[in-house]
Amino acid sequence: MKKDEYIRVKTGTIDPDFKDMDLSGFTGYIEDDPDNDNLVCIIWDNDTLKNFDEKFVSMCDKQNLDHTRMVLAVDDI
């Protein structure tokens, strides 16, 4: 995996911050090459962003999380 690569999240992947949020099938682009811990920052594409409901966006805002991107393990994508 490398920077700018288009990705899809594997089935069964759960948001590390919100345990009731299933990320299966979400799509986006890798922001930077994987780090030494095999973590990558994903920038969600427009299709994924349109699927986020207001409750999820609000929860992210309350915890100072950017809902437009997420760090996941390489094994989750």
Q: What are the tens digits of pLDDT across the range 43-68?
A: 999 999 999 989 999 999 999 999 99
Q: What is the pLDDT of residues 13-34, one digit of tens each?
A: 999 999 989 999 999 999 988 8
Give a yes or no: residue 1 inside a domain.
Answer: no
The residue segments making up the domain with residue 30 are 6-76
- What does each C-alpha distance from 22 to 4, 25, 48 come to in angstroms? 23, 9, 12
3-state SS, one letter per residue, for the chain: CCCCCEEECCCCCECCCCCCCECCCCEEEECCCCCCCCEEEEEECHHHHHHCCHHHHHHHHHCCCCCCEEEEEHHHC
Do the domain assignments include residue 46? Answer: yes
Is 18 within the bounds of a domain? yes
- For residue 28, being part of any structural domain is answered with yes
- The answer to whether position 22 is within a domain reads yes
Number of domains in the chain: 1
